[in-house]
Each structure stands twice: as C-alpha cells, then as structure tokens.
Amino acid sequence: MGDYSKALEFYEKSHQIYEKALPSNHPHLAKSYGNSGQVYNNMGDYSKALEFYEKSHQIFEKALPSNHPSLATSYSNIGQLYNNMGDYSTALEFYEKSLEIRKKALPPSHPDLATSYSNIGQVYNDMGDYSKALEFYEKSHKIKEKAVPSNHPNLAGSHLSFAVCYEKMGDYTTALKALKNAYEIQQKAFEEGNAAFSFTYSRLGRVYRSMKDYSKSLDYFQKCLDIDKKTLPENHPDFGITYSNIGDVHRLMGDYEKAITFHRKALNIQENVQCNPTDCATTYINLGETYRQMEDYTTAFTLNIFLN
C-alpha cells in the first residue's frame, strides 16, 4: 500500500522550504500544493484534496498565462474531485475549461487531449448519457491509438471506459470483450496484483453479475477486494462500493444474511467518509431490497424513507 502519511510528511517539508525561499505566487508552490492534493485524492479524502487543489489553482491563475498547460491540468484535477463527489455539472465545467486550454496549447495528437476527452466521457457516463459518453471515449481512443504503442496501459483505460458504457447499456457481450482487451494489455504492462487490476476485476464482477454468473462475479469482486486491501487505506470509498457489490450478489443468490453483512460493511464506510452520494444511495437501495425479499417490510420501508 502507498505510504500516504509518509508522502504527506515529505511534501510538507518540501513546501516549508519553498515558502521560505520563493515568492508566494511561484509555480513551484502551486505544484507543492498539488502534490499534497493528489495524495489526499488517492486516499479518498476528497474535501481535503479539493482544499489543496484550489490553493494550487489560485497560484497558477496568478503566475501563468491563461492558456498554460499546467492550468489545464489544475482544472482537470479539480474536475476529477467534483466527479468523484457526484457533482457532475461542476465537474463538466472544470473539465471543459481544461479541454479548451489543451486544444489551444497542444498538438491535436497529444495524450493530454485524450485524457480530457476521456474525463468528459466519464462525466456523461456517470450522468447516464451513454451515447454522449461513447462519443468522447471514441475521440480519446483515436488519439491514444496514434500516440502510444498498442500495449500501452492508456489503451487499457480506453477499453475499460467502453466496457463501463456497454455494461450500463445492457450490452454485456461487448462489455466483456472490452474488459478482456483491457485485461490482456494490463497483464503485459503490470505484475499481477498491481492496483491497476482492481477496477478491471470490479467491472468483470459487475458484468458477470448482470449475466447471472454469480460464482464468477463473486470471484472477481473478491480479487478486487484483495488488491484494494493491499493498496488503499482501510476507509477508502472504493471499499464501500466493493462491499455493496458483494452484498448484492449474495442477495441475488438468496443468501440474505451475508448480503446484509456486506451492505452494512459498505454503509459503515460510506456514512463516515465523503463518497459519491450515488454509491451510498445504491447501497441503501440494495439493502432495502434485501429486507423486502426477506419480507421484513418495516425495515425495507424505513430504509426507503431514509433514502428519500
């Protein structure tokens, strides 16, 4: 697991030196704030990450020309946080500002443009506009195909994005094909157990759940969980998502006690960290559905009232 406390300690020491040696609007100070923001983002502490990203952004706005690529990266970082927190309209606003700068400052085949298109696609995906999401994912993928080798991890990211969209559209065969493409690239690029596999396993678990292959689904969710336990802090929002997914598979298999156990584990995390509200709502829905299927209508009704 990344030693985030150690990383923050050294970034803070670095920042203290910069503060003494540099003027208050120097770009190095902005990068220093950004480094700390990135660590908090990786930890899933989005409010703290936003605090540091905004400090960084304020300096960049004063120190750099309006079309500087570093300013585009800053807009992109803030957009990612808002997307993680479920504020999609604000995320889209920041991502579009980033894209506009990159269009002016970078050549049309630059990988950062691919990142911008992918980020915007992600927001549309989360908003449920899958055709729009695919449009932006395709733009991103075409740039990556020209800019990086065929086994580059960035191309795996494209296939994962396609997979998420097709899964949500109910096209499980195409989603599975995209996931296998991503996995093949990752196997060549990373050692088994690398954090990059976590998301792939999670999406495979979701697709197999939708295809009613529950044993395979559980296997992949467990693989995701095993990696996350080694690479993430124990209260990271991603654990809430995985526990909820595992709980839902047990519900579908009719093992309601196990389902409740995992949904409660999910809520214990989601109610105590700043997670995407949609993820938390999904857990409440799944837990309510479990109690309904157990014919415990009072508890199911109570959870529904809480959600509304």
Q: What is the mean pLDDT of residues 294-301?
A: 62
Give the rounded percent of residues in the chain with a pLDDT score beyond 70.
95
Q: Determine the pLDDT at residue 290.
A: 86
Q: Tell me, yes or no, whether 274 lies in a domain.
A: yes
Q: Which of 132-136, 162-166, 167-171, 292-296 has the lowest mean pLDDT?
A: 292-296
Task: Report residue 2 as tokens.
Answer: 């990344």
Q: Tell me, yes or no, whether 224 lies in a domain.
A: no
Model confidence at 90, pLDDT cuts 50, 70, 90, reads: very high
Q: Tell me, yes or no, whether 200 lies in a domain.
A: no
Q: Determine the pLDDT at residue 2.
A: 60
State the burial class of residue 106 (Cβ atoms within 10 Å of its Cβ: 0-12, 13-18, 19+).
Answer: middle
Q: Determine the pLDDT at residue 276.
A: 77
Q: Determine the pLDDT at residue 144.
A: 95
Q: Tell me, yes or no, whether 92 lies in a domain.
A: no
Q: Quote the domain boundaries for residue 260.
A: 232-308
Q: Determine the pLDDT at residue 102.
A: 97
Nearest-10 crossing angle of helices 196-210, 153-168:
20
Contacts of 22 (CB under 8 A, 6+ apart): 28, 29
Task: Report the domain count for the chain.
Answer: 1
Q: Tell me, yes or no, whether 27 lies in a domain.
A: no
Q: Determine the pLDDT at residue 202.
A: 98
Q: Determine the pLDDT at residue 162.
A: 98
pLDDT (tens digit per residue) in 197-209: 999 999 999 999 9
pLDDT (tens digit per residue) in 2-51: 688 889 998 899 899 988 998 888 999 999 999 999 999 988 899 999 99
Model confidence at 241, pLDDT cuts 50, 70, 90, reads: very high
Q: What is the 3-state secondary structure (H, E, C) of the chain?
A: CCCHHHHHHHHHHHHHHHHHHCCCCCHHHHHHHHHHHHHHHHHCCHHHHHHHHHHHHHHHHHHCCCCCHHHHHHHHHHHHHHHHCCCHHHHHHHHHHHHHHHHHHCCCCCHHHHHHHHHHHHHHHHHCCHHHHHHHHHHHHHHHHHHCCCCCHHHHHHHHHHHHHHHHCCCHHHHHHHHHHHHHHHHHHCCCCCCHHHHHHHHHHHHHHHCCCHHHHHHHHHHHHHHHHHHCCCCCHHHHHHHHHHHHHHHHCCCHHHHHHHHHHHHHHHCCCCCCHHHHHHHHHHHHHHHHHCCCHHHHHHHHHHHC
pLDDT (tens digit per residue) in 255-287: 999 999 999 999 898 888 777 788 888 888 888
Q: Determine the pLDDT at residue 188.
A: 94
**Rounded to an integer, what distance in angstroms lies between the CA atom of residue 300 and that of residue 285?**
9
Task: Report residue 46 as tokens.
Answer: 């989005």
Q: Determine the pLDDT at residue 307.
A: 52
State the burial class of residue 149 (Cβ atoms within 10 Å of its Cβ: 0-12, 13-18, 19+).
Answer: exposed
Q: Determine the pLDDT at residue 275.
A: 72
Query: How many Å from the N-terminal Cα to the C-terminal Cα in the chain?
Result: 37
Q: Tell me, yes or no, whether 71 lies in a domain.
A: no
CATH number of the domain that 290 lies in?
1.25.40.10
Give the rounded percent of residues in the chain with a pLDDT score beyond 90.
74
Q: Is the pLDDT of residue 113 over 90?
A: yes
Question: How many C-beta atoms lie closer than 10 Å to residue 173's C-beta?
Answer: 10
Q: Tell me, yes or no, whether 8 lies in a domain.
A: no
Q: Determine the pLDDT at residue 283.
A: 86
Task: Report residue 200 as tokens.
Answer: 């792939």
Q: Tell me, yes or no, whether 259 lies in a domain.
A: yes
Q: Determine the pLDDT at residue 112.
A: 95
Q: Is the pLDDT of residue 213 over 60?
A: yes
**Rounded to an integer, what distance in angstroms lies between the CA atom of residue 79 and that of residue 95?**
5
Question: How many C-beta atoms lie closer than 10 Å to residue 98's C-beta?
Answer: 27
**Rounded to an integer, what distance in angstroms lies between the CA atom of residue 62 and that of residue 69?**
14
Model confidence at 151, pLDDT cuts 50, 70, 90, reads: confident
**Per this entry, what is the length of the chain?**
308
Q: Determine the pLDDT at residue 300.
A: 54
Q: Determine the pLDDT at residue 301.
A: 52
State the burial class of residue 295 (Cβ atoms within 10 Å of its Cβ: 0-12, 13-18, 19+).
Answer: exposed
